[in-house]
């Protein structure tokens, strides 16, 4: 029986979770497994952004986009492939079927854990009460896991543009697309559109894509994306959008006065926490200026019985982070835990084409933090691409503490970067040194082996 169960009996539930996305479902299931009586409310779709309008459909689109290139490259290996044709409605239908399957998996997981699932919007009333489908429900603890939503800047004509939410459901694949932003979603969707044959332009107000990461990554990625056909306009932004005189086309006027005609403008300009209209502020929960629930290291808000995890706290917007946060909350409230979460060394991948994988410190951050570092960097064409003639290049980079030899950062742009970096994330968590990297015998011939064969520091 979990600690505090007696006091909890006066409430309808021990835990009420608002939002059944990655963080909410994980916390609810885990809390139920620890003996808590749990209910979760979901107003939109089970599995949240990741399953329905994020990681999963995006990765399926990314696979789809790669096939076009793979079919073209197969010629170098002797395959004579008849002119390939792509059918967008087939991709959408198959993607929707897979998402429906995953929605069902989430429902089963919650039911199997004994979590009561309520179909509807829940709003906070006070420290121990929510309202859902016209009913007031009490709970010892309330967990806010309502995620985030794309932000589209209020430029004139923005209503003609879409965000990633709509990109997953376009009735037709546009012939031309203009993607705005320089982060994860912009790089991923520009690559997806381009790979599917859409004439794609990326408009970014800054000078380097993925500016949060090691500087080499964004610079190198931009070059490779351009080689594959994406037009990138740096230091550029849309001033207004209007309908073109003919058909469904749009005209985007940029800050320098130039006008780009396109069939689709997609904003990938960040996401905002989903707290509007939830009644949290009225319940006494402190919110940040952008609406994020302010929480401490244990994910407790300013109201002691109300917790929050995932995108709604606006810390690290990644599904595996939301899962880990949800576990910490469940364990601390209903298990024997007194944990917080270590946010250091979280590996991440951007599923652009080529993909990006990164873990640990960038060169700049490492110089700031430890001073003396060695940098190992290599670029090369993979064996596979010697026959495709694509000219595609791979970038691999290690950042090493010169005094301790500890590897501080592992960064890559190239095929399967996410798959490759995952293993190196374990090595970094174990405190691996450059000596241990060098003592590891590579697997030949692979791209990944370069990470254990870089001998000459370049900086």
With CB atoms as reference, the residue minimizing the distance to ligand NDP is 183
- Which residues, 6 or more positions from 38, have their beta carbon under 8 angstroms from its beta carbon? 13, 14, 15, 16, 17, 28, 31, 32, 113, 114, 115, 116
Closest separation in Å from C-beta 246 to ligand NDP: 28
Q: Which is nearer to ligand NDP, 61 or 106 (CB)?
A: 61
In the complex, least distance from residue 190 CB atom to ligand NDP, rounded to whole angstroms: 11
Q: How many H helices and E strands in the chain?
A: 13, 21
Nearest CB to ligand NDP, comparing residues 31 and 413:
413
Question: 235 an active-site residue?
Answer: no
Q: Give the dihedral sign, CA 218/219/220/221.
A: positive
User: Closest CB to ligand NDP among 27 and 192?
Assistant: 192
DSSP 49-104: HHHHHSHHHHHHHHHHHHHHHHHHHGGGGT--PPPP---HHHHHHHHHHHHHHHHH
Q: Identify the active-site residue in 235, 240, 246, 444.
A: 444
Tell me the closest approach of the beta carbon of residue 28 to ligand NDP, in angstroms: 22
CA dihedral 267, 58, 187, 391 (to 10 degrees): -150
296-300 long-range contacts, CB within 8 A, separation 24+: 297/340, 297/341, 298/328, 298/329, 298/332, 298/339, 298/340, 299/325, 299/328, 299/329
Q: Cβ distance 327 to 30 under 8 Å?
A: yes
Task: List the structure tokens of 284.
Answer: 């006494």
What is the C-alpha separation between 27 and 143, in angstroms, rounded? Answer: 9
Q: State in angstroms the smallest separation of the CB of 191 from ligand NDP.
A: 12
| Minimum distance from residue 370 beta carbon to ligand NDP (Å) | 26
Give the residue with the Cβ less far from ligand NDP, 49 or 301.
Answer: 49
Residue 177's contacts (CB-CB under 8 Å, 6 or more residues apart) are: 190, 193, 198, 199, 200, 201, 262, 263, 264, 265, 266
CB 327, min distance to ligand NDP, A: 19
Compute the half-sphere exposure of residue 16: CA atoms within 13 Å on the CB side of its CA. Answer: 27
Task: Using the minimum distance from each CB to ligand NDP, give the nearer residue, 118 or 350.
Answer: 350
For residues 408 and 366, the answer to whether their CB atoms sit within 8 Å is yes
Who contacts 43 (Cβ-Cβ below 8 Å, separation ≥6)? 119, 120, 121, 122
391: alpha, beta or left, given left = phi > 0 and alpha = psi -120 to 50? left
CB of 85 to ligand NDP, least distance (A): 29
**Helix boundaries (H) for 349-409:** 363-370, 383-388
- Which of residues 15 and 321 has its CB atom nearest to ligand NDP in the complex? 321
Whether residue 238 contacts residue 151, with contact meaning beta carbons closer than 8 Å, is answered with no
Q: Which is nearer to ligand NDP, 335 or 357 (CB)?
A: 357
Of 22, 29, 12, which Cα lies nearest the Cα of 334? Answer: 29
**Min CB(181)–ligand NDP separation in Å:** 4
Q: Reduced to 3 states, what is the DSSP secondary structure of residue 32?
A: helix
* Site residues, ligand NDP (CB under 6 A): 153, 180-186, 188, 205-206, 211, 237, 268-271, 317-318, 348-351
Q: Which is nearer to ligand NDP, 294 or 316 (by Cβ)? A: 316
CB of 143 to ligand NDP, least distance (A): 21
Nearer to ligand NDP, 264 or 317 (CB): 317
Q: How many CB atoms lie within 10 A of CB 41?
A: 24
What's the alpha-carbon Rg for the chain, to the nearest Å? 24
Catalytic site positions: 444
């Amino acid at each position: 029986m979990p600690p505090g169960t007696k006091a909890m009996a006066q409430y309808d539930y021990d835990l009420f979770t608002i939002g059944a996305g990655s963080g909410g479902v994980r916390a609810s299931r885990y809390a139920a497994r620890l003996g808590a009586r749990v209910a979760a409310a979901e107003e939109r779709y089970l599995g949240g952004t990741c399953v329905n309008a994020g990681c999963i459909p995006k990765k399926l689109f990314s696979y789809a986009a790669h096939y076009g290139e793979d079919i073209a490259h197969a010629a170098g290996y002797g395959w004579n492939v008849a002119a390939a044709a792509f059918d967008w409605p087939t991709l959408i239908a198959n993607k929707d079927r897979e998402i429906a399957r995953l929605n069902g998996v989430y429902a089963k997981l919650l039911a199997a854990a004994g979590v009561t699932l309520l179909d509807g919007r829940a709003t906070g009333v006070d420290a121990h009460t929510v309202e859902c489908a016209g009913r007031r429900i009490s709970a010892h603890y309330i967990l806010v896991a309502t995620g985030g939503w794309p932000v589209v800047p209020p430029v004139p004509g923005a209503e003609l543009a879409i965000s990633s939410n709509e990109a997953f459901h376009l009735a037709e694949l546009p012939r031309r697309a203009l993607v705005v932003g320089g982060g994860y979603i912009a790089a991923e969707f520009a690559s997806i559109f381009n790979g599917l044959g859409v004439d794609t332009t990326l408009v970014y107000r800054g000078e380097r894509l993925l500016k949060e990461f090691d500087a080499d990554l964004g610079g190198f990625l931009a070059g490779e994306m351009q080689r594959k056909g994406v037009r990138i306009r740096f230091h550029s932004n849309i001033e207004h959008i209007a309908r073109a005189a003919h058909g469904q086309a749009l005209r985007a006027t940029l800050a320098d006065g130039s006008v780009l005609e396109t069939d689709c403008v997609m904003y990938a300009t960040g996401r905002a926490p989903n707290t509007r209209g939830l009644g949290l502020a009225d319940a006494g929960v402190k919110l940040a200026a952008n609406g994020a629930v302010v929480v401490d290291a244990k994910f407790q808000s300013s109201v002691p019985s109300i917790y929050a995890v995932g995108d709604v706290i606006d810390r690290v917007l990644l599904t595996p982070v939301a899962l880990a946060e949800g576990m910490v909350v469940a364990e601390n409230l209903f298990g024997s835990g007194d944990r917080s979460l270590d946010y250091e060394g979280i590996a991440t991948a951007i599923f652009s084409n080529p993909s990006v994988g990164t873990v640990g410190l960038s060169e700049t951050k490492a110089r700031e933090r430890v001073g003396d570092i060695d940098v190992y960097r290599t670029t090369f064409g993979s064996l596979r691409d010697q026959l495709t003639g694509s000219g595609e290049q791979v970038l691999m980079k290690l950042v090493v503490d010169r005094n301790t030899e500890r590897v501080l950062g592992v960064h890559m742009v190239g095929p399967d970067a996410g798959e490759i970096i995952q293993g190196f994330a374990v090595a970094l968590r174990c405190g691996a040194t450059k000596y241990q990297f060098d003592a590891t015998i590579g697997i030949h011939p692979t791209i990944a082996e370069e990470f254990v064969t870089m001998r000459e520091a370049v900086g």
